[in-house]
Structure 1
Amino acid sequence: MKRRAIIKQKSTRFITYFYFFLLVYTLAALIWWGISLFHQSEIITESQQRYLRLTVDSLQHPALFQQEMARIAHEEQMRKFKYWGEGITFLLVILIGAAYVYRATRRQILLSRQQNNFMMAVTHELKSPIAALQLNLETLLKRKLDPEKQQKLLESMIAETTRLNHLCNNMLLASQFESRQYQMIKEQLNLSELVTQCVLQQQRRVHTHTFVSHIDQDVWIKGDMLTLSLAINNLIENAVKYSPKGSTVEISLHKDQAMAVVSVADEGSGIPDAEKTKIFDRFYRIGNENTRKTKGTGLGLYLTKKIVQEHRGMIRVLDRKPQGSIFEIAFPLTRDLIS
């Protein structure tokens, strides 16, 4: 894998160098032809002036001579104006085209790298729960365990299957969003109950963090229950991934004027300002799969933003003091239930 990555990196460098070589060669050729045309224009002007001196006597016909000289000078100016206009036009076309091609190529290279990281991440995400399920099943099959240990193994297996199901839902929903095939079923729903259920699910699955919730009651919005629960769970899981074990994850829901605001705060290392807009891009994760310790596919925050936008909401990330991050999502309250 590393060898393939090195080969791909060298290939990318070669393409970049070759692209800039062609661009510089094209610009140099344009400048060279421009200089040649200006030189040729000067030669034409000198030839016309020489011919005029041979055919028209400047002493006998001074007015005609001056008129012809002025005409020759005007023609030279018009040629130079045409050369400048065409040259600048070609230069702008070349630069705009080069910038567009470079931007598209760079975007494609970055997307390819992100997809490569995504495939590596998905491989790890799939292998871990599958290995855990296989180990637990073999343990149950080969050994006679007391009911308490069996119960723990079964709970662990349920947690792993839930994790697999959540991963599959993320991947499927991302594909449907990209192809615009997913149809949301929006209905009046109690966001307070939905957030409470999400917190309880995380508390049953995660025992390495403390969950603290502050949820206002009877907060109603119009939305799709499946995607909203997925978005809230993504934010909570993201807070768990990027905060140390034993820390506290705080979830709150409150009304702010005509909006219902859900916030998830963690005690992690925070997010640099330069990364705060990038983390919502598809497949994007801070760092790379070789150096990153936390699990994930780079789809969670991307899907969350998509879901929030489909509900005419807003999403943002803030710094938490003294450390950590706060993710906020806001949805319009149902008009007849705003209080």
Structure 2
Amino acid sequence: MKQATTALPGKKMITGIYIFVLVYTVVQLFWWGILLHQQSRQIAHYEQLELTHQMHQLSEPSAFMTEMQRLHHEERMRTLKYIGEGTIFLIVILAGAVIVYRAVWKQMRLQQQQQNFMMAVTHELKSPIAIVKLNLETLRKHKLDEEKQHKMLSATIRETNRLDQLCNNILLASQFEHQKSQPFFEPVDLSQLLEQAIQELRDRIQSHDIVSAIEPGIGMEADKFMITLMLNNLVENAVKYAPKGTEIRVSLGIEQNDLLMRVRDEGEGIPAAERSKIFMKFYRIGNENTRKSKGSGLGLYLTRKIVEQHGGTIIVDDNLPKGTCFEIRWQDYSPQPV
């Protein structure tokens, strides 16, 4: 809690110092321009005085006027030179300030997201580990009937699956970041693969009604593990934000030569301003200390990466009348043998 509360004042202080230095630099630039302009006027005044003292040496008045015009022209050229140089310096300073500010702010935001990620992962690890430890200690110390043992073992397996998926997400995110992810593409029955993954989700998730509408016999070149992980992340994201007892619908079908997969929930939906950010790594809506839902901020990031890796696109939209719809589209789908 202390880390989260001290981060904001630190950002404000750094931003304040940065703005002060930038304003001071710009003011100094304008002061430099004013001094150069005054110096130019003094030079022109001394040159005119000297020309007036030498006027008796000039044979004709026209020569005197010519020299005065030349002095005025030189003064104007010096003024234009100072204005041009000052304008260029000002543009360079402001452009550099914007670039530096954006880079620093991006780095600070990334550090904050990484801090939130570490807090979330710590919580995600401690919770299932504590449950697994408690269940195993209970089984060791107490003689339970077969039905209770089965329930505790099933709960333990569910929590170890959570740990396994979290580890997979972290490792896969690292591989994507370093461009080391190499999927194993093979002909798969996508319909059957999704049905199997949905059944496993039903066995593991009891809080929501997971409904499938899968068109049979759809094949494609895909990585089985990646596709399963993609579906798990989308469904578990829906579980986090949709009220208990509501329906989560997974559909797959061909529409107008495009292969479409949708995951719909009946939650509160995602604000339009957040939809372009939710696929960023570590990004989660809200504050890490106040949000109620668990998560590491990697699920949707990995989902987008996996979809792009398989040649598709993913968007998020409203699920009318209420909720969120994630739509994955493979354009110009060509049926593959299964």
TM-score, length basis structure 2 = 0.96
- Taking the TM superposition and a 5 Å limit, the aligned residue runs for 1:170-319 are 170-319=169-318
- Structure 1 residue 315 displacement after superposition: 0.4
Q: Tell me, which stretches of 5 or more residues in structure 2 are unaligned? A: none
- Structure 1 residue 190 displacement after superposition: 1.6
- Structure 1 residue 87 displacement after superposition: 0.6
- 2:114 aligned residue: 115
- 1:163 aligned residue: 162
- Structure 1 residue 71 displacement after superposition: 1.2
Q: Structure 2: which amino acid aligns with 1:109?
A: M
- 2:63 aligned residue: 64
Partner Cα distance (1:304, 1:327) in 2: 10
- Structure 1 residue 333 displacement after superposition: 6.3
Q: Structure 2: which amino acid aligns with 1:268?
A: G
- Contact between 2:220 and 2:335, CA under 8 Å: does it hold in 1? no
Q: Structure 2: which amino acid aligns with 1:132?
A: I
Percent of pairs with identical residues: 51
Q: Structure 2: which amino acid aligns with 1:107?
A: K
- Structure 1 residue 236 displacement after superposition: 0.7
Q: Structure 2: which amino acid aligns with 1:210?
A: D
Partner Cα distance (2:184, 2:66) in 1: 82
Partner Cα distance (2:216, 2:275) in 1: 31
Partner Cα distance (1:137, 1:333) in 2: 51
The superposition leaves residues 184-220 of structure 1 with CA deviations (integer Å, 9 ceiling, x where unpaired) of 1222222111211221111000011111111011112
Q: Structure 2: which amino acid aligns with 1:37?
A: L
The superposition leaves residues 215-243 of structure 1 with CA deviations (integer Å, 9 ceiling, x where unpaired) of 01111222222112111110011111110
Partner Cα distance (1:241, 1:58) in 2: 95
Partner Cα distance (1:205, 1:6) in 2: 37
Partner Cα distance (1:57, 1:67) in 2: 15
- 1:141 aligned residue: 140
- Contact between 2:128 and 2:159, CA under 8 Å: does it hold in 1? yes
- 1:44 aligned residue: 43
- Taking the TM superposition and a 5 Å limit, the aligned residue runs for 1:69-88 are 69-88=68-87
Cα distance, 1:159–1:333 mapped onto 2, change above 3 Å? farther
- Structure 1 residue 62 displacement after superposition: 1.7
Cα distance, 1:98–1:53 mapped onto 2, change above 3 Å? same
Partner Cα distance (2:183, 2:64) in 1: 84
- Structure 1 residue 58 displacement after superposition: 9.3
Q: Structure 2: which amino acid aligns with 1:204?
A: D
Partner Cα distance (1:321, 1:176) in 2: 36
Partner Cα distance (1:6, 1:253) in 2: 45
Q: Structure 2: which amino acid aligns with 1:117?
A: N
Q: Structure 1: which amino acid aligns with 2:109?
A: L
Deviates more, 1:22-31 or 1:63-72: 63-72
- Contact between 1:57 and 1:65, CA under 8 Å: does it hold in 2? no
- Structure 1 residue 170 displacement after superposition: 0.3
- Structure 1 residue 10 displacement after superposition: 2.6
- Contact between 1:219 and 1:260, CA under 8 Å: does it hold in 2? no
- Contact between 1:279 and 1:302, CA under 8 Å: does it hold in 2? yes
The DSSP-based 3-state class of the residue aligned with 2:278 is helix
- Taking the TM superposition and a 5 Å limit, the aligned residue runs for 1:91-110 are 91-110=90-109
- Structure 1 residue 18 displacement after superposition: 0.8
- Contact between 1:221 and 1:333, CA under 8 Å: does it hold in 2? no
The DSSP-based 3-state class of the residue aligned with 2:295 is coil
Q: Structure 2: which amino acid aligns with 1:259?
A: D
Q: Structure 2: which amino acid aligns with 1:45?
A: A
Partner Cα distance (2:336, 2:174) in 1: 34
- Contact between 1:221 and 1:331, CA under 8 Å: does it hold in 2? no
The DSSP-based 3-state class of the residue aligned with 1:279 is coil
- Contact between 2:307 and 2:314, CA under 8 Å: does it hold in 1? yes
- Structure 1 residue 306 displacement after superposition: 1.0
- Structure 1 residue 60 displacement after superposition: 4.5
The DSSP-based 3-state class of the residue aligned with 1:184 is coil
- Contact between 1:189 and 1:222, CA under 8 Å: does it hold in 2? yes
The DSSP-based 3-state class of the residue aligned with 1:197 is helix
Q: Structure 2: which amino acid aligns with 1:19?
A: Y
Cα distance, 1:58–1:66 mapped onto 2, change above 3 Å? farther
Partner Cα distance (1:43, 1:244) in 2: 78
Partner Cα distance (2:88, 2:186) in 1: 56
